[in-house]
Every structure is written in C-alpha cells, then in structure tokens.
Amino acid sequence: MLHLSEVSKEYRRGVRANDGVSLNVAPGEVFGLLGHNGAGKTTLINQVVGLLSPTTGTITLDGVDLVANPAHARRQCALMPQAHAPLDGLSPRQAVQMLGRIRGASRRRAIECADALLAALDITAWADTTGERLSGGVRRLTAYAMAAVEPGRVVMLDEPTNDVDPIRRRLLWQQVRTLAAEGRAVVLVTHNVAEAERSVDRLAVLDHGRVVAKGTPAELRAGTAGELRLELLVATGTPLETPIPTRAPTRRTGRRHVLSIDAATAPQALEWAQRLRADGHIEEFSLTPTSLEDVYVDLVGPGATSADVTTAAPGESGTLVS
C-alpha cells in the first residue's frame, strides 16, 4: 500500500537525513523504524505525510504519488508527532473531537470516536481537564487519540509511548494493533528496542539515514541462532575474568557486563555465575536468548545504546529466562 523508493533528503552543505531509503508497508501491518537520534526516522515520516519533500526518490500510496500530491498525503495519512500536542486551553475531549472534524468526520462520529478512544486508553478521568493541567503521559495518549480518531489509510506514530505509564502503554499497543486489524498501515518510530520486538510485524533499522537491515524481528535475529546473552551486575571494584568462551568481546556499561556465549556452554555459564554471586563478586545475573537489542547494537554500534535506545530491564536476578 505504501511504497518508498530510493528516498533521499539532503539539506544544506550536503547533509543527508535520508539516503536512498526503499520500504514497503502493507495494509494491516505495523512497521517499525528503529534507529538512534539523528538516524533519519522523523525526517522520513515527515516526507510521507507531506511536511517535507524528498530531494530524490518517490513515495506512493495506493499508486498515488504523494510527493506530487501532498494534499492527498495529508488526507490519507495521520501523524502523531514526537513533540507534545498543543493542548493549551483545550481538553483532551475537545482536541480529539476537533481533529476528527478537521479530518472529515461528522460531528456525531467525532464525538463517538473521541469518547471511545479516551475510554480505551483509560484517560476519561481527564477528558475535560485543560492541557496545562495534564501530565506528560496523558498529553501523549491524547496525541495518539488525535491521530487515531479519523486515521485515513496510513498512521504514522513517532515515539508514541514516551512518558506513558506501563499499564496505559499496554492499552496503547492494543489500540495500535486494532488500527492494523482494520486494514490500515501503521508506521511506528521508536527508540525502544524491546517494544519494537514485541509490537511490530516487520521493521527497518536506520543508521545515518540508510537502511542497514529490514525484516521481521525473527529474521533479524536469525544470524544469532544458538547464541545466548549472559548479563552480570558486578560488585563495585570487583575485577571480572571470564573463563567461558565468548562469541564477541564483553560489552561493559558501568558495572554491567554482557557476554555473548554459545548455548552449549549455558550450564558452565550458569555454574560460574552462581558461584560468583555466592562469593559476593556479582549482585545479580540473567541468561537470555539473544535479543533484537543485541542485533541492533551489532548493526549500528554500541554507542547508540547509552542515551538513544530504551531497552528492557534484565531478567530476574539469578534466573534462566527463556
């Protein structure tokens, strides 16, 4: 349904935000764009919805050229931007109904859809509270509802779960899947690797404006079959020497050490980790299959994880997580 072919965006002095990006998103699909800050994700979706024009390349929706017809893009593509929605002086109910009317819904439909979305996201309690008095999470959920109230054919979500609490985050993902089930294409921009792994059908990894990998989460992890991830939280000042063969150099962030090991060495690794904890050399450990986060780090480099990528917490201390 949505087709991007060799899309590039070049700014002054030759800076390329996107460099030859080609993607396809099907009806009913949740497609993720994963990458660090400055990878070109937001620039790309802004070109799809007609806020920016690509320097080169084509973008089509159901065969219609969106670059030549930006008005069609604005009618058929809904956008939840990364920034908070401008709600000063407006309540969530008013803002969602207003966006529904602007996007062509009848008054009755806008009212009904707004009420249903606010209820589904569990923010009805703040439905008539003005934006100045809302928390960041409620403002974020309201922004989602504004995009979803009359969504068109394609819905672009830029970091939709920022500031949202864990319970309502689950409700939000249920609503995203509902949009896809209704036949819409959903494009999700995120830093959160763990959420992307659980929530998308396919994804593309962007690095410096280029697509460096794309496919399903399982396809991206295919090259790590038989590999496990041993994570150790080392006691302060404790040197750590690894007696177990590893597939790659140990990654260290502060006191946290992450080792990639073969599944065949799992019993030996568990015995060693349990001994380290019993002797007080480490505080906790987890042993898990290689995740999409590990694949991501291999693709774009470890520097992206420290500030740009949100990851899941490690498994429960001292347990084997499968």
Per-residue pLDDT of 44-76, as tens digits, reads 999 999 999 999 999 999 999 999 999 999 899
Question: Each residue of 218-266: pLDDT tens digit?
Answer: 888 887 777 898 999 998 767 778 888 888 888 888 888 988 899 899 9
Average pLDDT, the chain: 87
Quickly count: other Cβ atoms within 10 Å of residue 298's Cβ. 15
How does 304-313 read in b/e, with b if 16+ C-beta sit within 10 Å?
Answer: bbeeebbbee
Other beta carbons within 10 angstroms of residue 263's beta carbon come to: 14
pLDDT at 319 over 60: no
Question: Can you tell me the mean pLDDT for 15-43?
Answer: 91
The predicted-structure confidence for 159-191, as pLDDT tens digits, reads as follows 999 899 999 999 999 999 999 999 999 999 987
Mean per-residue pLDDT, 282-290: 90
Report the predicted TM-score, pTM, of the whole model to 2 decimal places: 0.80
- pLDDT at residue 201 tops 80: yes
What mean pLDDT is predicted for residues 281-296?
87
Residue 97 Cα to chain centre, angstroms:
27
| Cβ within 8 Å of residue 120, ≥6 positions away | 171, 174, 175
Whole-number Å distance between alpha carbons of 252 and 258 = 6
pLDDT band at 302 (very low <50, low <70, confident <90, very high): low
Q: Who has greater pLDDT, 77 or 316?
A: 77
How many distinct helices (H) and strands (E) make up the chain?
11, 15
User: DSSP secondary-structure letter at 220?
Assistant: H
